[in-house]
């Protein structure tokens, strides 16, 4: 989901909590093997859930058809509340303090800022040309405008607009790892890399057919190609192409927690689990119909099933052979 960010900070990058692989390994006392995972519950939310973001304490889900956000408890999956936001909310990102919601519909063209502790709407910020993807790294908030081929940078502390940056054609999803910002340009078959400190364009990288979802865990960058049924892996330090990995049909969302990579396959109603350490496909997991957004907090992976109006919780378990520490407990630091 670059900068190594401590779990206690609950830094959420690219609409998903990104935990540095180095931090994960240090916490558990050795290298982690591939994890086994399974769906443990399916939770009803609002109409046409699309985006999802877990900060490790709360899970936030955008309901595209209901103009609302559903808040769930990350430790139990229990419903907490429904919050009214702008028109056609799609992308969402929590940094543990603020929750940022991209309202793509017209009239709308706004970003809603919520309090992560209460869910209350703090303010509504105008962003032109159908804001879609959003990613907060705790200092900056990055919002794609799919209709304007731009990224807008906001201050995470105030919500003030800092600048607007031109990127590729039809940018949808975006992911900041605190050092680099990665933008998937659906219409241009490219990824734009920005500097998180300045917003300057560093490079444009050719990737697969119709890139949509993107997630950086600080070491790797993972990009879904809807038209190619693949995930492209890039190096987060250089942007260099590493490899292309076959996944399911019409992959949209992607979230890396530093150990596993989770990819939603819309046409197959499945999630592909990859190892972030070896790049191997671990398994394919059946979820609800038309899974779009996905967010892993390291304990659970949360999947928004748009046609079922549900969220699937996939519980992650680890078998740690190199340490005597017990498996990680869901919902705790």
Q: What residues contact 152, with CB distance under 8 A and at least 6 apart?
A: 127, 131, 142, 143, 145, 161, 163, 164, 165
Q: What is the pLDDT of residue 318?
A: 52
Q: Which domains does the chain have, with CATH numbers?
A: 7-305 (2.130.10.10)
CA distance 171 to 129: 11
CA angle 311, 121, 216 (to 5 degrees): 50
* CB neighbours of residue 31 within 10 Å: 13
pLDDT tens-digit series, residues 183-241: 999 999 999 999 999 999 999 999 989 999 999 999 999 999 999 999 999 999 999 99
Q: What is the pLDDT of residue 333?
A: 26
Least reliable range by pLDDT among 2-6, 182-186, 213-217, 280-284: 2-6
């Amino acid at each position: 989901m670059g900068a190594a960010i401590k779990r206690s900070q609950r830094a959420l990058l690219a609409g998903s909590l990104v935990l540095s692989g180095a931090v994960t390994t240090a916490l558990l006392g050795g290298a982690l093997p591939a994890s086994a995972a399974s769906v443990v519950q399916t939770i009803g939310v609002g109409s046409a859930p699309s985006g999802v973001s877990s900060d490790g304490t709360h899970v936030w889900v955008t309901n595209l058809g209901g103009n609302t956000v559903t808040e769930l408890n990350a430790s139990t999956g229990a419903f907490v509340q429904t919050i009214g936001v702008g028109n056609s909310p799609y992308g969402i990102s929590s940094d543990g303090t603020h929750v940022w919601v991209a309202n793509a519909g017209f009239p709308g063209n706004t970003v809603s800022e919520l309090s992560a502790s209460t869910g209350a709407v703090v303010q509504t910020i105008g962003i032109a040309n159908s804001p879609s993807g959003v990613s907060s790294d705790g200092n900056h908030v990055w919002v794609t405008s799919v209709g304007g081929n731009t990224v807008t940078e906001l201050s995470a502390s105030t919500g003030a607009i800092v600048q607007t940056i031109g990127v590729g054609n039809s940018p949808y999803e975006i992911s900041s790892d605190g050092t680099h910002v990665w933008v998937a340009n659906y219409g241009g078959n490219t990824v734009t890399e920005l500097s998180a400190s300045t917003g300057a364009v560093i490079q444009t990288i050719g990737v697969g057919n119709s890139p949509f979802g993107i997630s950086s865990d600080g070491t790797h960058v993972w990009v879904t190609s809807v038209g190619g049924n693949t995930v492209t892996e890039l190096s987060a330090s250089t942007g260099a192409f590493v490899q292309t990995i076959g996944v399911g049909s019409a992959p949209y969302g992607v979230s890396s927690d530093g150990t596993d990579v989770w990819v939603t396959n819309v046409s197959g109603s499945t999630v592909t689990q990859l190892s972030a350490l070896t790049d191997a496909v671990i398994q394919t997991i059946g979820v609800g119909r038309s899974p779009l957004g996905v967010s892993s907090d390291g304990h659970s992976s949360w999947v928004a099933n748009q046609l079922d109006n549900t969220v699937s919780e996939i519980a992650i378990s680890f078998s740690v052979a190199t340490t005597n520490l017990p498996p990680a407990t869901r919902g705790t630091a």
